Amino acid sequence: MNKFLFALFTSALTLPAAIAQDAAPAPSLALELNALQPAEAGCRVTFLATNTLGSAIDRAGVEMAFFTADGGIDRIVTLDFTGLTDGKTKVLQFQLKDLACDDIGRLLINDVTACEGEGLEPGACLDGLVTTARPSIAFGV
């Protein structure tokens, strides 16, 4: 086989690997607002948290603003997402006292006040934050 054909053949074999590397998802902390359920004292808010930052997250303090259906701010709370193993999805539930689920119109991540874990940069959780929502409520940064 001549050198040109050999180089062409070798390039063709390595091209799919290069494309696959480019297609790899960026490291992230993905938060999905999964459910809002009326509870005895308020609203139970359920999230799915998926950590692919490359290191376990011991604690991510996420400051969220809860808006009413008409756009006014109801409250700002910091929710602690803890024990997030790298590469795993975890279900976390929070009870919000004196909040009717039907009154929630939007959730906004105001800040990430803590991003703790061995080898994590302080801004890694916020920089890699991705949000989605299953209920028809706006949820974002």
Instruction: Categorize the per-residue pLDDT at 81 as very low, low, confident or very high, splitting at 50, 70 and 90.
Output: very high
Domains and CATH numbers, the chain: 29-140 (2.60.40)
Taking the C-alpha atoms of residue 61 and residue 101, their distance in angstroms, rounded to an integer, is 22
Q: What is the pLDDT of residue 22?
A: 59
Taking the C-alpha atoms of residue 125 and residue 127, their distance in angstroms, rounded to an integer, is 6
Taking the C-alpha atoms of residue 107 and residue 35, their distance in angstroms, rounded to an integer, is 13
Q: What is the mean pLDDT of the chain?
A: 88
Taking the C-alpha atoms of residue 111 and residue 89, their distance in angstroms, rounded to an integer, is 21
Taking the C-alpha atoms of residue 82 and residue 57, their distance in angstroms, rounded to an integer, is 7
Q: What is the pLDDT of residue 77?
A: 97
